Structure 1
Amino acid sequence: MKRRDLIAGGLAAATLPTFTFAQGLEKPKATIAVGGKNLFYYLPLTIAEQLGYFKDEGLDLTIVDFAGGSRALAAVVGGSADVVSGAFEHTVNMQFKGQPMRAFVLQGAAPQIVLGYNPKTMPNFKGVADLKGKKIGVTAPGSSTNVMANFALAKVGLKPGDVSFVGVGASSGAVAAMRAGQIDAMSNLDPVITLLQRSGDLKIISDTRIVSEAEKVFGGPMPGGCLYCPQSFIDKNPNTVQAMTNAMVRANKWIQKAGPGDIIKVVPESYLLGDRSIYIDGFLAAQKALSPDGTFPVRGADTAFKALASVDAELAKAKLDLAAVYTNAFAQKANQKFR
């Protein structure tokens, strides 16, 4: 899609009276919490915001960025945000904790998280078992990057306590920590990963940007980023949730047809981390791992449960209603609107 077409489309939408869209929305002013907004993991959220898709649906959203997904979730639990743009597996964990959350539109068909080691501090690295006693950088403790690292450790018999997890965020701070040798390994996402890989400061151990590898790692389809919220918010605001889903599905579909040049023109300059070529490489690596239509795979919740259960004995024993952690009803309706 040409930039002028995007602008023309935006102007056309702007000429329509906003109140006609807003009618029927229970909460047109809402807040979305996200952990690392610049990541490709959340690219559909940025596209929906930057291209005015939320406004087209009559929404006036505030998007608050945090250092990691666990902190974004804490904002919703604490009542300062309504919806999380975060990792799908948190919905499983929250049901286990007795605070039911439900995902309603998918952003990532795979986690897109990469586990890599620092060749400067671990020049003789041979396998994940070598990480015992080492410092592993994650976006934030308890975030999806932490879960991915825990899962990889569990596969070789290591427990979370066998390493030290360090919150490094998802931007320039993460890059600096790796280059300074403050961490021995990292579980993070693009564009951070591509930047470090290109400069030789990171060697990949496991790459879930590749959908087939993600399924191999987790033993099934593992949903990545999504929008989720307390079940009570969905019950009280179904039209608002549908409007959010419409905007996100529209963004998902735009991304699938977009080229790197289109993305560069839309995202904020700060997302590029000072290097457009690396951002383009990161987008090309992530594009196939983004959801084409916002719907969740049927086995996704089961895969997420097994990943969490591998490092949490209490959760492993729990009998959860995994059908209650997501719904495709809103995304299916959005796909009828945006074919």
Structure 2
Amino acid sequence: MPPPRWCAQSLEKPKLTIAVGGKNLLYYLPLTIAETQGFFKAEGLDVTIADFAGGSQALRAVVGGSADVVSGAFEHTLNMQAKGQPMRAFVLQGRAPQIVMGINPKAMPGYKTLADLKGKKIGVTAPGSSTNVMANFVLAKAGIKPGEVSIVGVGAGNGAVAAMRAGQIDAISNLDPVITLLQRSGDLKVISDTRIVAEADKVFGGPMPAGCLYAPQGFVEKHPATLQALSNAMVRANRWIQAAGPGEIIKAVPENYLLGDRAVYIDAFMAAKGALSPDGLFPEAGAATAARALQSIDPTLKDTKFDLAGAYTNEFVRKALARAAKG
């Protein structure tokens, strides 16, 4: 059904591009559901999703002007603030990072503690992405500095699985379905798992907002109706996921997301479901948690006074939830 004509006309930018780093990841499942279930279209939006190897590259696409909005990790909004390029997040996809760090049991059969990772090769989706931040954060707890390991970009799909199985990396910081696939084949021993909300809160010392939609502050100010439409679609997707069974999820995602194994994808979905946002709202303490995480791994940010309230807004999501409640 085409959107009502007034709807498309009232949007400042009905045709837009969202950049994402690893669209197949369960981390970004709400984005995929909003696309495949026609929720963007129902809001009068014509959305193109540009997929990159990692979140840092997706962010570069928006900074460079080839995309309008990022579907990426929340902490990038703070990083960009520190660089004088303020970004604002406006709808949450994940209430925990879902990133899992683990070692390669073949490459490190004698692994005992995190200290054993010093000097090792660690695979991340892309250098500078949230998987890299998580790796640095976990290593910092063992007193290992970022320069004391080799960070290798392996992507978020079959390439990451192959790198681990071939022994090209000693450890990995990645997401589902990659993690579940490696676990099931015995190619991964988990050392930190932020798919579990309580464990993520413990690792980061508070609620750590994860995947979200964010855009440059100027774009947010100029396109309120467009952002409202995007938020409506994403909130609808968040709610759809919470009510969906594994069979419905399998039907709703492209075949190539399954990495050749439906059972693995279902296991991965069940492991990640609790970490996905049920409503799209950012937790009040989330920005402060993300700022602490960034400052603990990046000495140049140690004295930065972040505008935490400016990093996100719940305004659009609250309106979307009010509309959904009216049904």
TM-score in terms of structure 2 length? 0.98
The equivalences for 1:255-294 within 5 A come to 255-294=241-280
The CA RMSD measured in Å over matched residues stands at 0.7
Q: Which residue of 2 aligns with 1:142?
A: 128
- Partners of 1:294 and 1:181 in 2: CA distance: 38
**5+ long unaligned stretches in structure 1:** 1-13
Question: In the TM superposition, what whole-angstrom CA distance separates every residue of 1:254-292 from its partner, at most 9, and x where no partner exists?
Answer: 000000000001100000000000000000000010000
- Partners of 1:338 and 1:259 in 2: CA distance: 21
- Partners of 1:174 and 1:59 in 2: CA distance: 33
Q: 1:123 aligns with which of 109, 112, 120?
A: 109
- Partners of 2:113 and 2:311 in 1: CA distance: 34
Q: Which residue of 2 aligns with 1:204?
A: 190
Question: In the TM superposition, what whole-angstrom CA distance separates every residue of 1:26-84 from its partner, at most 9, and x where no partner exists?
Answer: 00001000000000000000000000000000000110000000000000000000000
| Partner amino acid, structure 1, of 2:85 | Q
**5+ long unaligned stretches in structure 2:** none
Q: 1:78 aligns with which of 51, 64, 68?
A: 64
Q: Which residue of 2 aligns with 1:7?
A: none
Q: Which residue of 2 aligns with 1:166?
A: 152
Which 10-residue stretch deviates more, 102-111 or 308-317? 308-317
| Partner amino acid, structure 1, of 2:251 | K
Q: Which residue of 1 aligns with 2:49?
A: 63
Shift in Å, 1:21: 2.2
- Partners of 2:3 and 2:140 in 1: CA distance: 55
Shift in Å, 1:17: 4.8
Q: Name the SS of the counterpart of 2:115 in structure 1.
A: helix
Query: Does 1:220 find its partner at 2:220?
Result: no
The equivalences for 1:1-339 within 5 A come to 14=1, 16-339=2-325
TM-score in terms of structure 1 length? 0.95
Q: Name the SS of the counterpart of 1:110 in structure 2.
A: coil
Q: Name the SS of the counterpart of 2:10 in structure 1.
A: coil
- Partners of 1:177 and 1:279 in 2: CA distance: 20
| Partner amino acid, structure 2, of 1:323 | A
Q: How many residues align?
A: 325
Contact 1:137–1:165 (Cα < 8 Å) also in 2: yes
Contact 1:70–1:141 (Cα < 8 Å) also in 2: yes
Q: Name the SS of the counterpart of 2:101 in structure 1.
A: strand
Q: Name the SS of the counterpart of 1:123 in structure 2.
A: coil
Contact 1:21–1:56 (Cα < 8 Å) also in 2: no
Q: Name the SS of the counterpart of 1:332 in structure 2.
A: helix
Shift in Å, 1:127: 1.4
- Percentage of matched positions with identical amino acids: 74
Contact 1:67–1:140 (Cα < 8 Å) also in 2: yes
- Partners of 1:27 and 1:283 in 2: CA distance: 33
| Partner amino acid, structure 1, of 2:297 | V
- Partners of 2:128 and 2:276 in 1: CA distance: 23
Question: In the TM superposition, what whole-angstrom CA distance separates every residue of 1:205-246 from its partner, at most 9, and x where no partner exists?
Answer: 000000000000000000010000100001110000000000
Shift in Å, 1:23: 2.3
Question: In the TM superposition, what whole-angstrom CA distance separates every residue of 1:182-214 from its partner, at most 9, and x where no partner exists?
Answer: 000000000000000000000000000000000
Structure 1 residue runs of 4 or more that deviate by more than 2 Å after TM superposition:
none
Q: Name the SS of the counterpart of 1:98 in structure 2.
A: coil
- Partners of 1:35 and 1:164 in 2: CA distance: 21
| Partner amino acid, structure 2, of 1:222 | M
- Partners of 2:135 and 2:35 in 1: CA distance: 31
